[in-house]
A and B are shown apart, each in its own frame.
Chain A
Amino acid sequence: MSRIATVRRAAAVCRTALRPRVTAGLRTRVTAGFTAGALALSTSIALVSYQVARSSLLAERERTAVRAAYLDATVVQSGLAADRPDILEILRSLDTGGNRRAVLHRDGEWYARNLDAGVTSAIPPALQQLAHAGEPVVQRVRAGGQPALVIGVPLAPGTTFYEVDSLIELQNTLRVLAIVLTLVALSTAVAAAALGRHATGYVLRPLGRVTDAAQEITDGNLTARLDPAAEPDLARLTTSFNGMVDQLSARMQRDRRFAADVSHELRSPLQTLEAAASVLARRRDRLDERSATAVDLVNAEVARFQALVNDLIELARSDQPADRSPVDVPDLARQVCRTHGVSPELVTVEEGTERTWLVDRRRVTQLLSNLIENAQRHGGGPSAVRVGTDPDGYLLTVEDEGPGIRPEDREVIFDRFVRGRAAHVRGAGDGTGLGLALVAQHAAAHGGRAGVTDRPGGGARFHVHLPRRDT
């Protein structure tokens, strides 16, 4: 009933809410959060480590350079103390290794070893002035595109000893350090992303079970429940989920029972009406015209009332599964035709269609019955009843040559209590308005569907597709 449909929809909403949005979104968000956090943290640690390492390495390097420069300056000074000192020779005697280059500025003249010529351009003029004024100076500069340290040691007025110490090795060390720290930061972030993804996956796994249960309920298994013992941390969710499903299924059962009870209660008075009406009908000829008309009305309405109650009881059974057994469908179709006073010759069996189908005999009987009645009521009687197959199952078709069904009505005519417009035109309101709804329901019970199209040449073509089942 409509309540059942609402429940189904609720379960479906619950499922969609749980699956695509929460699972995908939350997981991505948590993973992104983990990654960003880890990246920020590891980057700042790397930056701080780099800065600390760099400044301490530089300071250490500077101290070494200054000490070496002063040592060299002492050597130069003692060399200069001699008579007519050979400055170049003194400079050459210095053990400066590959990194240090020594120059002497004496009385406006630059002295340097051949190898070290040109190094003077690296010494900034401001530094020279400062050293000239007798200040010992240290400055980091770039010499020939490479980092270097200039150390100026005033030896005497007008005499300054400079050493230019290349920092290229330190720079290389720092570069390696920077690369290593960057890699560490990145791999930390990647590890955090993996951890975040795994952790959220782990945490969301119980929700996956909720999703599965919701899906099962949507598919009609109202006994599906979650195991409260499986996930103690989610006990509240499990309990309220199970409680919700309990309530829903109890309500559905109540609704079903109510519909069934009401219909059953109607059956007894209907039996009296039916029997009494038949007694009256037998005496119709002996009644005056007015009474005879009244008897006809009573009989017609009793018949309709009876059909309505039977259809309602059938609808109340809506979610019972199809009770499948092998059924000779062409034979059944001919029988149904006979019971409706229609020639069984109308039944045609498509070539290659197997005779025996695994279907619910009661449901298929009623389905064919209702389609034929519908054709009789609104289409001037069926013009063809076809038993055939389509790619993934069986196909039953009932055609009539009546006015056909307007495209906008093709969906709604399978709803409850919808009667064809044509019926109103003719004033023949003898249907229950449930016939086609039951057709759709019986098709759905088999996992199939019912529909209607135009019949080529005019009229309606109702078709019911039933998927093939082998077991």
Chain B
Amino acid sequence: MTGVLVIEDDDRIRLSLVLALEDEGYEARGVATAEEGLVEQRSRPAETVLVDLMLPGVDGFECIRRLRRHDGVPIVVVSARDDTHDIVAALEAGADDYLVKPVAIKELSARLRALRRRARAAEPTTDMPTLVFGDLEIVPDAGEVRLRGTPVAVTRTEFRLLCELAQHPGRILSRQQLLQRVWDHTVGDERLVDVHVGRLRQKIEPDTAKPRHLLTVRGLGYKLQR
């Protein structure tokens, strides 16, 4: 499964992206609407999905939410919109990464490779012991997170972020460090980290206003508390 599904309503952009991604060695397919994309992903799941935000009918945000309902497939937004509001909304809907058009094919390819590495890291491995943070358990060899014994559904990016923090219990990791380690960004957008931390909190913290595990250290970054 090396496929990339491109959901983009502009025919020329879709075609050029498919051509360029095929050149980069991906098996790329393109669809023009969110509806088609959702059907396509259910029948022939791709490894990664690229979504435009401005789509006719079901828009990109809703498309991301519906894709998320099924699984943790990595979703990358490629949009001409670059205001904070759109970026945060797309990430909150469940996107793993956000790129602003026009994105260089090399950059896009690098992000996709990073996502693939992340997906691998989230696959069951046996070389890491279960990490326990009070009632929170992270089981790397099962690729699973449990809260009071109940499994919690997290995306691969969220799992990777949690593992990164769990490997350094109590230590502060800056947003930039997390961007580098989880997203492979050299110079990146810190909102990616903030939104993902927010999403993780909703899943693992009983009270997101008063987090007990995933703490913000003002001005410095985040840490996972035992």
Contact = CB atoms under 8 A, between A and B. Distances in A.
Do A and B associate with each other? Answer: yes
Interface of A: 264, 267-276, 278-279, 282, 306, 309, 313, 325-326, 328, 331-332, 335-336, 338-339, 361-362, 365
- Most central of A275, A282, A306, A362 by chain B CB within 10 Å: A275
Given A264-B81, A313-B82, A328-B176, A274 B105 contact: yes
B16 A335 contact: no
Given A268-B80, A274-B105, A275-B13, A325 B220 contact: no
A271 B78 CA distance: 10
A422 B71 CA distance: 56
Contact of B103 (A274, A338, A365): A274
B186 A279 contact: no
Nearest to B82: A313
B23 interface: yes
Contact of B20 (A269, A270, A279, A365): A279
Contact of B187 (A282, A309, A328, A335): A335
B101 A365 contact: no
Nearest to B221: A326
A338 B187 CA distance: 10
Contact of B102 (A267, A326, A336, A365): A267
- Most central of B105, B174, B219 by chain A CB within 10 Å: B105
Interface string B1-22: 0000000001011001101100
A142 to B, nearest CB: 96
Q: What are the 3 A-B residue pairs with the smallest beta carbon separation, nearest first?
A: A275-B16, A270-B102, A275-B20
B12 A282 contact: no
The range of chain B's interface size is 20 to 34
B187 A365 contact: yes
Contact of A278 (B12, B80, B105, B187): B105
Given A326-B219, A335-B187, A365-B187, A274 B104 contact: yes
B36 interface: no
Contact of A276 (B16, B78, B219): B16
A274 B80 CA distance: 14
Contacts of B187: 332, 335-336, 339, 365
B190 interface: yes
21 contacts: A264-B81, A267-B80, A268-B80, A269-B12, A271-B78, A271-B101, A271-B103, A274-B102, A276-B16, A278-B20, A278-B105, A279-B19, A279-B23, A306-B104, A309-B102, A331-B176, A332-B187, A335-B186, A335-B187, A336-B187, A362-B189
A336 B176 CA distance: 13
A272 B12 contact: yes
A136 B80 CA distance: 119
Interface string B132-144: 0000000000000
Contacts of B220: 326
Contacts of B81: 264
Nearest to B23: A282
Nearest to B83: A260
A36 B17 CA distance: 84
Contacts of B103: 271, 274
B80 A264 contact: yes
Interface of B is mostly: loop
Contacts of B186: 335, 338-339
Interface string B97-124: 0001111111000000000000000000
Contacts of A328: 174, 176
B12 to A, nearest CB: 4
A277 to B, nearest CB: 9
Contacts of A279: 16, 19-20, 23
Contacts of A273: 16, 102
B101 A270 contact: yes
- Most central of A268, A269, A326, A338 by chain B CB within 10 Å: A268
Interface in B68-83: 78, 80-82
A271 B16 contact: yes
A274 B101 CA distance: 10
A363 to B, nearest CB: 12
Interface in B121-174: 174
A242 to B, nearest CB: 28
Given A264-B80, A335-B187, A361-B190, A271 B219 contact: no
Contacts of A325: 190, 219
Nearest to B104: A274
Contacts of A276: 16, 19-20
Contacts of B82: 313
Nearest to A365: B187
A273 B187 CA distance: 25
Contacts of B104: 274, 278, 306
Contacts of B100: 267
A269 B19 CA distance: 16
B50 to A, nearest CB: 11
Interface in B161-219: 174, 176, 186-187, 189-190, 219
B19 to A, nearest CB: 5
Contacts of B19: 275-276, 279
Nearest to A358: B219
Given A339-B186, A362-B189, 14 more contacts: A264-B80, A267-B101, A268-B80, A271-B80, A271-B101, A271-B103, A278-B105, A278-B106, A279-B23, A282-B23, A325-B219, A328-B174, A336-B187, A365-B187
